Amino acid sequence: MSTMLSINPEEASPTLLAIDEDEKVAYVDGAPCELTQQEFSLLQELAQNCDRPVSRAELLREVWGYVSPGETRTVDVHIQRLRKKLGFSSIETVYRQGYKLRAQAV
């Protein structure tokens, strides 16, 4: 199953993000993006909750399987790496709420 998203759809030339869930590969404008399993799972979780902030606790529970997250910066570090690898800044930090992927389904 694949998910197709338009990143920054309000811009003149939006970025196309395709997530192939079966092959565990993400494509940015048709080019494969090298992601670790955790980065892919994080991107997948954000894409499933497009335009809705997802809390750090929820991401830790859904992506890492943490029951009691405690104090950890792992989500922030992985978000930073994901932003760098994808090459676009549509993963927004939502103050006191978490992170959201600003995109729309194609």
Residues 49-96 have pLDDT tens digits of: 988 999 999 999 999 998 776 678 899 999 999 999 987 778 999 999
Q: 22 is in which domain, residue-wise?
A: 2-105
Residue 49: how many CA atoms within 13 Å on its side-chain side? Answer: 17
Number of domains comprising the chain? 1
CATH of the domain at 65: 1.10.10.10
Q: Which residue bears the tokens 């405690």?
A: 70
Give the whole-angstrom CA distance, residue 60 versus residue 92: 17
Angle CA 36–83–66, to nearest 5: 55
What is the pLDDT, as a whole number, of residue 69? 64
Give the whole-angstrom CA distance, residue 12 versus residue 83: 21
Element (H, E) at 90: none
